[in-house]
Amino acid sequence: MKLSFLSIFSFLLLFTACNSGESGSSGISPNGFEYEFHLDKEGAIAQPGEYAYFQATMRNGEEVTLDSRSNPVMPRVLIPSPSAPANGRPSAVVEALSLMSIGDSLTVFQAVEEGTTPPPGYNIGDKIAFDLVMMDIKTEAEYQGEIRQQQEAGNAAAKAIKDKVATIVADYSAGALDDQIQTTESGLKYLIFEEGTGAQAVAGKQVSVNYFGVLTNGNEFDNSYKRGRTFDFPLGAGQVIRGWDEGIALLKEGGSGVLFVPPSLGYGAADKGNIPPNSELIFHVALEKVN
């Protein structure tokens, strides 16, 4: 599957130890980024090799173009060593985080310069404002422990879903679901288990989905649960297969169901390795968030 806050943030990292300042103080970072503290807890700052967990708002003037709080996964980044070789343009966000302790908030500015590719919603000459709040700082061991816990929880959830999907595949193959399945004009077949009570998924909205995908023979080819996080993408932007852009739009936040995606709405004749050419795909999907 295939842009979420995290994917845009990753782009910004490519686009692009000290003492934290006093509340309201401002300055220039080592790589020339202007910053201004709004709150300084005067605690231990993030050290190289540690992971900074943070929330961020990205602004063009007063216009908010991105807010990490709309994403179910909090952004985090590894604080690099000051002696580490630079990989392209330095990141204003990472450099600012290296000045912060837990509870600190600041704004750091980065100009969109000639010769760079502006992020969506910006032009050459604009000044991007990143409003950052440091939520937590974790060591490598703490970070890896968190990842293991997420994977274990995801594996448990995946097992429960896998058993459910196996029953659905067997019933589907036997024709036992024929009177329950609905079909769209494009040929997408679907079952709705829970319609959801939240916002409707519509084109242009950012959605967060958990999924479990199998072939009609029951062979699993992918699932989001094993990664311990949802799959996030802008609906209707062509970032996923057509069957998903159409099928997820049938749900509201909190809804779940099964999509039976024909090859014409999936990967067609392309060979995707564990997905053979011209495969019908079966997805158990749960719409966790609509932003």
Would you say the C-alpha torsion 86, 89, 91, 96 has a positive or negative sign? positive
* 128 DSSP β-pair partners: 60, 110
* 107 DSSP β-pair partners: 36, 131
| Whether the Cβ atoms of residue 266 and residue 241 lie closer than 8 Å to each other | yes
Active site residue 241: yes
Of 51, 211, 231, 233, the active-site residue reads 211
| Whether the Cβ atoms of residue 248 and residue 242 lie closer than 8 Å to each other | no
Q: What count of other Cβ atoms lies within 10 Å of the Cβ of residue 252?
A: 15
Distance from CA of residue 220 to its chain's centroid? Answer: 22
Six-digit token pair at 136? 């937590």
Of 161, 241, 248, 282, the active-site residue reads 241
Angstrom distance (rounded) from CA 113 to CA 272: 39
Strand pairing class (256-261; 63-67) = unpaired
Active site residue 53: no
Active site residue 37: no
Of 15, 130, 190, 283, the active-site residue reads 283
Radius of gyration for the chain, computed over Cα atoms and rounded to the nearest angstrom: 22
Active site residue 225: no
Active site residue 267: yes
Of 11, 109, 143, 221, the active-site residue reads 221
Of 190, 233, 267, 282, the active-site residue reads 267
Of 67, 131, 136, 222, the active-site residue reads 222
Active site residue 11: no
Strand segments (E) across 68-158: 76-78, 105-111, 127-138
> So which residues are the catalytic ones?
211, 221-222, 241, 267, 283
